[in-house]
Amino acid sequence: MRGVSLPTHEYSRVAEAYVQSFSLPMAARDPGLLAEARNLTMSTRAYTRVVLRLRAQAEREASDAAMLRAALPPPPSKRATNGYASNRSSPSRASSRAPSPNSAYSHGQHSQQSHGQHSPAGLVAGPASRSPLFRVKRAPLLRVFVPSPDGDWLSDKSVLECEAEIKRAGISDLLRIGDVVWDIAVGDEGNVGRLIWDGSYLIDLDYKYSAVGDLPQYLPTLAFSPSYFHRVIRTGPASMNPVVHIDISPWGQEIAANLQLLQDRVRTETPQGAFHNVVRWVHRSSFVIRAPTKPRASVGGRRPPSPRIPIPETSGLFVDPGWYGTIVVETEGTNEALADLQDRCPGAFPPRAGGPPTVMLKEARDAKKVFKILREKSRPGEIWIRAVGPKERLF
């Protein structure tokens, strides 16, 4: 209850006073401050255990609801008196949301969206799914209280202490790849104190393309739903589009076949606050991540587990169903941007003039996997991504 009711800035205030007390003699230190720091440490441990308990409960409810839905017989189709099916009795309704702006790839997506609306996550009910501490299909924001002598930037020693706090809380076996651990003692400014669990260790965010930090390149974005880290890993004030790491080379042939050079109209804001419509040229293509075919029921009547799409060069990770559908890839309409897109799809485009292609080092290959999700254009079943070039790197 203390973790829920206490304002987050109180943690940093106590932590700062606690660190400053180290410069005082032992006899001059306030014993009440030490007790308060211990209480906050115990509070964050309890808070984290409750969040993980809520996740387990919500996922169990979703699983039970999905099994119940699969066991129910399909609803009978209602027919009108003349023998034809009545449109008013249709069990599902197409989405009334308008297609995304300037989209040439949104046709034929209604069936995918309708299928997504009936996913098991939509059937979750109960206190766990309504809790503000955890949402299904979102990353949990776990807490530790580790006062940092180095201020906002956590040193290696502080990160190791955060890992030790996870063990003391007894949740090491409950963490999953992509869980976010927040050292609440260092403040609540941007993504300060936020670390990502990679399956074995806590790792820092990536600050190459954003001053507030983005997901590290070691986490394949396709393994998580497009909105998994929304509002858990915050974006900067200049752009609401998060940086992601996607290897599009498996769909290179499809991207090359669908590539177009188009004019796009963008609404931009001037420093004086006025808005202008700017026309620009863009290279735009698309590919489809198709859901694997579901296997038929076995002889015993039980359906085997649904097949999943493995992600290459990962240890047992699969593409999240939230990415199934059309992926629109966009980049600038320049020759340099086109060459960059071709390098992201090796072997899919004809070789360029100038001799054989150069062999890229691992760092260069990782840079070709950097994109931004365009949230203002994306929708369920159609995700827009824009290639991020080396000019956008901060260092």
Tens of pLDDT, residue by residue over 235-282, are: 887 778 999 999 999 999 999 999 999 998 877 766 676 777 888 999
Tens of pLDDT, residue by residue over 16-51, are: 999 988 888 888 888 889 999 999 999 999 999 999
pLDDT at 126: 43
Average pLDDT, the chain: 82
Spell out the domain ranges in the chain: 2-67+111-204, 249-293+305-392
Q: Residue 37 burial (CB < 10 Å; 0-12/13-18/19+)?
A: buried
What is each CA distance from 367 to 59, 62, 246, 340, in whole angstroms? 35, 37, 10, 10
What DSSP letter does each residue of 180-226 carry, written as one string? EEEEGGG--STTTTEEEE-SSSEEPPB-SS-SS-B--TTS-GGGS-T
Short-list 244, 188, 186, CA closest to 215: 244
Whether residue 13 has pLDDT greater than 50? yes
According to DSSP, residue 14 is labeled H
What is each CA distance from 135 to 88, 191, 222, 228, 235, in whole angstroms? 34, 19, 19, 10, 19
Tens of pLDDT, residue by residue over 324-380, are: 999 999 999 999 999 999 999 998 998 876 555 666 788 888 899 999 999 999 999
Q: Which two tokens stand for residue 79?
A: 């027919």
Return the residue matching tokens 């606050």. 273
pLDDT band at 157 (very low <50, low <70, confident <90, very high): very high
Return the residue matching tokens 């509070």. 43
What's the sign of the alpha-carbon dihedral 116, 120, 125, 126?
negative
Decide: 149 and 187 in contact? Cβ < 8 Å.
no
What pTM does this model have? 0.79
Looking at this protein, which amino acid is placed at residue 8?
A: T
